Chain A
Amino acid sequence: EVQLLESGGGLIQPGGSLRLSCAASGFAFSGNAMSWVRQAPGKGLEWVSVISGSGGSTYYADSVQGRFTISRDNSKKTLYLQMSSLRVEDTAVYYCAKGGITIFGNWFDPWGQGTLVTVSS
């Protein structure tokens, strides 16, 4: 069974940094692209970033470009999202999601349970 478990969320002040993790199991982690998707309280889904299976290719939403960095450690089967210069509007539940063999052309399934990031003074 594919499982994704996020961690690392919490309360952080504006301008601060935080690193999220997503531990994966039940599939060939290095063979799949992985994404982060976020959902602000009471709002819709917003795609944040994607990384290829090898980690060699990454893409970001304009809203986080230059502030967030996606990475992965295939030996640990773990996906990361390093978030810096955090803003109040980054407050959201952050989900990791499994993609396909390639970055493009694949849907997201499954999703992790999510971790809440609250940016507030």
Chain B
Amino acid sequence: DIQMTQSPSSLSASVGDRVTITCRASQGINNYLAWYQQKPGKVPKLLIYGASTLQSGVPSRFSGSRSGTDFTLTISSLQPEDVASYYCQKYNSAPFSFGPGTTVDIK
């Protein structure tokens, strides 16, 4: 099975900072990669699909990119409401594995 890893596992940044989270697939998955945001005590919410397509209603400060089997979620200017855990997920084939998650908070 394809394994999904994420780095860092957690980060603390200041409001307005640029934040980058990386997700790596152990094998090629093309662009079949989604990013989800889960705020404390809330339901996961889709942010990005197809590695780089922003879901409707998601602020434009979020963006995604791909380089081979490495995927990146970027928050261009961190806001207090972005405090959350972020998960990547492969969906090209089963199992639809998630990365272990990255927790983002405000410094």
A residues touching B (Cβ–Cβ < 8 Å)? 35, 37, 44-47, 50, 59, 61-62, 95, 103-114
Contacts and interface: CB of A to CB of B under 8 A. Distances in A.
Contact of B36 (A45, A50, A103): A45
B62 interface: no
A103 B32 CA distance: 13
Contact of B95 (A45, A59, A109, A110): A59
Contacts of B34: 107-108
Contact of A61 (B55, B89, B93, B95): B95
Chain B, interface SS category: loop
Interface stretch (B10-18, B19-27, B43-51, B73-81): B43-51
Interface residues of B, number: 25
Contacts of B38: 45
B98 A46 contact: yes
Nearest to A57: B94
A76 to B, nearest CB: 23
A50 B94 contact: yes
Nearest to A63: B95
Contacts of A111: 43-45
Nearest to A112: B43
A103 B95 CA distance: 11
Given A44-B87, A44-B100, A45-B36, A113 B92 contact: no
